[in-house]
A = this chain, B = another copy of it.
């Protein structure tokens, strides 16, 4: 398909066995919302996220019992784990000793350069990368004042550069950066600016995007716009709700830009006055059927015989409805004409055939 963006060249880091940046595929991240020290619940959620297509999982580490729980969690999962830590260097050290694969911590917020150095020493020893995560809402006061008293893209970048400088002074370069805001244009601008300034890999996200219903659109627009410009090496969709939905949305964003093969694609026309069948109902049935399919096949459900097979020529398999009867087509070629009430059965049979075919 169309190559729209030349991906920006970045350095890379390894989070467990997942490379981020460089030429690595763009990875999907999410974060648990269980209490991290509830090992059972946390492991269960991590497994659900992994199964849904999450490449890297992050957990909050607000206290020592969370940091220590990482050891038990790590023993039971096989997806890389990141510890999200605010301020306290002891939690970072403990998380690393517990076997975490990466940290998210802002060195400028730790307060004491000796403590930062202790973290860096431990991180170097275990090859643990650090994400610097700047958030528009918690931008340093001094920086905000410098840029008009409000969060701004330039301010966010300056904040990140200050954190980076602290790590670079300690000769630590396994760095990944995020610059999140809940304002989409501000986020886009900040990442654009950052990508012109440093070549560390970038973790994209729109923060506090909202509920599943409204947050998905904000995230798709913001993350999608950046990826379409070749910016971004790993993504996280933030939604208030089940994080499995974040993973599904993130993968759909990557899939839509041809950046990941992720399950089947359903192409269905919006229907118009030319459509003589209940296409929405049929499309929903097909979507249900496809929800159990992992193979990246392309299935078309089209409303009219005139445009259907031609417009969906790229589909591996498809149907087009007419008056009383419909067509089944494969790669644009009509293979069957069937009565309308047989359309779904015929399509499902062809889908099953496709799935069974050698990859």
Contact = CB atoms under 8 A, between A and B. Distances in A.
A35 B86 CA distance: 59
Give the number of copies in the complex. 2
Given A189-B4, A217-B220, A224-B224, A284 B211 contact: yes
Given A136-B311, A210-B266, 20 more contacts: A1-B186, A2-B152, A2-B183, A4-B189, A61-B273, A84-B272, A135-B311, A138-B311, A183-B258, A185-B228, A185-B257, A188-B228, A208-B269, A211-B268, A211-B287, A216-B217, A217-B220, A217-B252, A217-B253, A240-B270
Interface residues of A, number: 93
Contact of A33 (B32, B151, B270, B312): B270
A280 B153 CA distance: 29
A23 to B, nearest CB: 18
A57 interface: no
Interface in A176-218: 182-190, 192, 207-211, 213-218
**10 residue pairs, one from A and one from B, having the closest CB atoms:** A137-B311, A221-B224, A60-B273, A220-B220, A225-B228, A2-B185, A2-B186, A60-B272, A238-B270, A240-B268
Nearest to A312: B137
A62 interface: yes
